[in-house]
Amino acid sequence: MSIRSQADRVIIFDTTLRDGEQSPGATLNVEEKLAIAHQLALLGVDVIEAGFAVASPGDFQAVKSIAEQVGIADGPIICSLARAVRQDIQTAAEALKGAARPRIHTMISTSDIHLKYQLKKSRSEVLAIAQEMVAYAKYFVDDVEFSPMDASRTEPEFLYQVLERAIAAGATTINIPDTVGYCTPKEIGNLIQGIRENVANIDQVILSIHTQNDLGLATANALAAIENGVRQVECTINGIGERAGNAALEEIVMALQVRKPFFNPYFGRAVDSDVPLCNIKTQEIYKTSCLVSQLTGMLIQPNKAIVGANAFAHESGIHQDGIIKHRQTYEIMEASAIGLPENRIVLGKHSGRNAFRTRLKELGFELSEADLNKAFNRFKEVADKKKEMSDWDLEAIVRDETQLYIDSGFQLEHVQVICGDCTCPTATITIVTPEGKILTDASVGTGPVDAVYQAINRLVQIPNQLTEFSVQSVTAGIDALGTVTVRIGHEERIFSGQASDTDIVVAAAYAYINALNRLYRYLQTQSQTMVSV
C-alpha cells in the first residue's frame, strides 16, 4: 500500500538525523546515525530523513548506509534533503539508490525576506526553479517532497502559485515549514486552510507540516495543522534541532493517543474509535529518547514532556495522595505506555550473567556477546561500589559500554586525583594514543576536574575550548551513578561527550575523552578530504 493511500492517519516523518543533527554539538558519525536509524525503524516511523547528502562525504555515506541497511522492503521510506539545485538532487539520488522506497526532499525559500537577502532572486525565478527541480528529482525517484522554506512568512498568493507548480511537476508530498517558529496555532490553521482552498491540485498530494520551536509552540502548531487537514508531521526525537528545536515526536504521538477522542472526528472516525492515529510503537519511545540523548550528548531536561525524569514523578503531598488513591487523578498516561521501566531493584553484585542478560532484554536491550561482556564487567565493577542496582543504573551502564566508536581515538587508561581544601588539586592521567603509545602526564587546576582536563590537554594536544559541563544524577542516593556531559568548541563547531560513573571526576574524564575523540575523528575526516581534493 502506498503512503499516499493512508491519509486517514498521521504519517510520522522523522528528521532527527537531519534537522536534529543541526543542533550545536549534536554531530553524529555514520555508525551512530545507523544505530539511531535502526531504532527509528523499530519505533515505527514512516519516513526517516537520513541527512543532507550533498553537505559532506560523511553525510553522503550516512544516507547511503541507512538506505541500504534500514531502507529495506518492509522498512521506512528513506529520504535525503536537497536544495533546489541539480547537484544536490543528483547526490541525494545517488545516496538513496540502495533504499527500497527512496524519497528526495527538495526545498527553496519563498518568503520575500529570504528572496531579497538570501537567494537574491525574483519571485518569477523561484517559480521556475521550483517547477524545474521538482521535475528533475522526479526523474530519479517516484516519491518527491517539496518544501517552500519560510512558508509561514510567504505572501499567500505567491505561496499558492509555487505549490501548484510543484505539484504539477510531480511532487507527491507538499511540506509547509514554519521555518523560524513564528506562527501561533490559529495562524497555522488559517495557513493550511488557505492552501487547501486556493491550491487547485492540492488533493493530489499528502499535505505536511514542519514546525520550529522558537516560541515554544512547535507541538501546538503541528497539532493545529493536523486539525486542519495535514496528514504528515515532520518532527524529531526529544524535539532537538536548529536553534530551539522542532516539534517533538513523542509529544505529537502521545497527544494523538491520549486525546484520541478529540482528534478522531478530524479523521472521519467515531469519537470512541480505538484505531491508532499513527503507526508508532509507543513502547519504544523511551528507549529511542535515551539513545538519541546519549549519542548526541544532549541531556533531556527533567521537566520535558513525556520523556523527562519528572514526567511521571510526584512530590506534592496532594498529588501523592491522589495518585495512591487513583492514578488518573494526576496522570493522564501510564509510564509503561512509552516503555518507561519501573525503578525496581532486581540485581546486585552476586547476580550472574544470565540474570543480567534477562533483565536487559526486559528493558529492551538486545546486545551482542561482545557488548554483553563489556556491560557485564562494568556492572560488576559498579555493583561492588553500590549496595543496590536499579534499572536506571543498568541503562546508564549499557549505554556507556556500548557507545559506538571507530577504532581510531584516544583511550583513557588511568585517572588519579589529589584534592582538598589545603591541597592544590592535582591529576595524573594515562592515555593510549591512536597509534598505541602509552602516555602519562600530571597537571594542577582550580579543582579536580579542571586538573584532569589540563592533564588530558597536555597529552592529546588538540586545541579546543570547553563550552559546557553538566552533571546529572542517574538515581538518588550518595552512591548514585552520575552522568557527565561536556561540549567542546573548535573553529565554530561543537562536539559533545557523555559518560557515567559513581565517581564524578572519573565520569568527567571519560566524557571529555569521548568529546575529544569526536573532534579527533572530525579533524581526520577533514584532512582526508583535503588530501583527496
Cα separation, 410 vs 412, in Å, equals: 7
pLDDT at residue 366 greater than cutoff 90: no
pLDDT at residue 439 greater than cutoff 70: yes
pLDDT at residue 2 greater than cutoff 60: no
- Amino acid residing at 348: G
Show contacts of 325-334: CB within 8 Å, 24+ apart: 332/258, 333/254, 333/257, 333/258
The pLDDT score that the predictor gives to residue 1 is: 40
The pLDDT score that the predictor gives to residue 357 is: 83
Strand spans (E) along 350-492: 389-390, 411-420, 423-432, 438-444, 465-473, 482-490
pLDDT in tens, 316-345: 455 445 545 655 665 678 888 888 765 554
Least confident of 8-12, 431-435, 473-477, 519-523: 473-477
Cα separation, 51 vs 17, in Å, equals: 6
Dihedral pair phi/psi, residue 354, rounded to 5°? -65, -40
pLDDT band at 364 (very low <50, low <70, confident <90, very high): low
pLDDT in tens, 104-153: 999 999 999 999 999 999 999 999 999 999 999 999 999 999 999 999 99
pLDDT at residue 175 greater than cutoff 60: yes
Least confident of 61-70, 348-357, 382-391: 382-391
469 with 449: CB under 8 angstroms?
A: yes
Cα separation, 383 vs 390, in Å, equals: 10
pLDDT in tens, 184-243: 999 999 999 999 999 999 999 999 999 999 999 999 999 999 999 999 999 999 999 999
The pLDDT score that the predictor gives to residue 25 is: 67
Least confident of 162-166, 176-180, 302-306: 302-306
**Mean pLDDT for the chain overall:** 88
pLDDT in tens, 226-264: 999 999 999 999 999 999 999 999 999 999 999 999 999
The pLDDT score that the predictor gives to residue 188 is: 98
pLDDT in tens, 17-56: 999 888 776 778 888 899 999 999 999 999 999 999 999 8
pLDDT at residue 476 greater than cutoff 90: no
pTM of the model: 0.83
Least confident of 84-93, 193-202, 406-415: 406-415
